[in-house]
Amino acid sequence: MQIGVPKEIKSAEKRVAATPAGVRALVAHGHKVFVEKDAGLGSGFRNEEYARAGAIILENAQDVWAEAEMIMKVKEPIGPELEWMRPGQVIFTYLHLAANRELTEKLLKKKVVGIAYETVQLEDGSLPLLSPMSEVAGRLSVQMGAYCLEAQNGGMGILLSGISGVRPARVTVIGGGVVGYSAAVIAVGMGAQVSILDNNPLRLRYLEDISDFRMVTIMSNPANIEEECVNSHLVIGSVLIPGARAPKLITRDIVKQMMPGSAIVDVAIDQGGCCETSHPTIHEDPTFIVEDVVHYCVANMPGAVPRTSTIALTNVTLAYGLEIADNGYEKALATDPALRKGLNVLNGQVCYPAVAEAFDLPCVDITF
């Protein structure tokens, strides 16, 4: 198959859909890979590395789109990319269509095969192409929290780990899923005293079992949330109710009671945030202070570490990309139920229920 890897053009997006190692694997399977010049630079991968891996480097994006039977990207197509798509072309990327009517209509009109990373789903309900970004955000959240607690950033000037003779900081994580667990592990590793709250007793038991008594697991309810937040130096918000806006578990009243100079990292901000005083911020200006509490609310945290994020993303997308390339999309979708869940649009029809529902369109159940 001919596969295209264009440079991302969405503002501040530095990730790329394939590393040189990924290109090498695709080429070893007999595929031709067209990489746009400088596509990997934002993640620290040079053109020569792609060329050595067997990629054909093309000067301009339009040529990459014209050559490719499958485009592998990171973000949804935007701007001129929308015009370069053609019928039957596979677009394998994050699409988030339910939140974007214009893009959905464009993909339908262009009759492309839209397979969305975020809806590829395993039998146990997990989302294998989303979870690496949650791991990145979770781990990064503690680093960012530590930054917020520094005096020059408005924080109370406390070191998470403490030192000999000085207490470490208290960290509370609300939501013990992929983000929350990743955050808690790093906070424990940095020497903080960590509590983690979830409203799913099975999840709490699992966290208790694997944490070896290094973090305290607590049932999430309004009283416990208030008590933990008020007594913590750093609070990390990482709840998710799939398909819904994040619940406002940390009220303004709780924020008012928190210690002056304490910090909240609201990772769930991409779903509206789980703190009443949060609003989305950007990497260039990531924090603000409300009620004397430093807030960090960047909605695309993995963007701060594009190299790690690119490698993490391509570690999980490559196997699916290979499946599509080796077998053709029809056979790949027919034989892999997880990948089948990723199919959002095909031949001008919506095939994913949540997208159809969002725009009141028919959902077509295609059998291959």
Ligand X SMILES: NC(=O)c1ccc[n+]([C@@H]2O[C@H](COP(=O)([O-])OP(=O)(O)OC[C@H]3O[C@@H](n4cnc5c(N)ncnc54)[C@H](O)[C@@H]3O)[C@@H](O)[C@H]2O)c1
Return residues touching ligand X (CB under 6 A).
133-134, 137, 174-180, 197-200, 203, 220, 238-241, 246-247, 249, 267-271, 299-302
- Of 134 and 317, which has the nearer Cβ to ligand X? 134
Distance between CA 31 and CA 25 in Å, rounded? 9
Q: Which is nearer to ligand X, 33 or 183 (CB)?
A: 183
> Closest approach of Cβ 174 to ligand X, in Å?
5
Residue 143 and residue 355: Cα distance in Å, rounded?
35
Whether 118 contacts 102, CB under 8 Å: no
Active-site residue (options: 29, 38, 63, 96): 96
The helix or strand, by DSSP H or E, that contains position 4, with its residue range, turns out to be strand 2-5
Shortest distance in whole angstroms from residue 155 CB to ligand X:
20
Count Cβ atoms within 10 A of the Cβ of residue 21 and give its class: 0-12 exposed, 13-18 middle, 19 or more buried: middle
Which is nearest to 215 in space by CA: 236, 235, 192, 237? 192
| CB nearer to ligand X: pick between 36 and 198 | 198
Which is the catalytic residue, given 270, 292, 326, 336?
A: 270
Q: From the CB of 220, what's the least distance to ligand X, in Å?
A: 3
Residue 96 designated active-site: yes
What residue number has its CB nearest to ligand X? 177
Closest to ligand X by CB, 89 or 195:
195
- Helical ranges in 80-217 per DSSP H: 81-84, 101-110, 131-148, 178-189, 201-211
Torsional sign, CA 27, 313, 14, 306: negative
Closest approach of ligand X to the CB of residue 8, in Å? 16
Q: From residue 316, how far is each of 16, 131, 236, 249, 299 by CA, in Å?
A: 13, 9, 26, 32, 22
Q: How far is the CB of 306 from ligand X (least distance, A)?
A: 13
The residue among 199 and 257 lying less far from ligand X, judged by its C-beta, is 199
Catalytic site positions: 96, 270
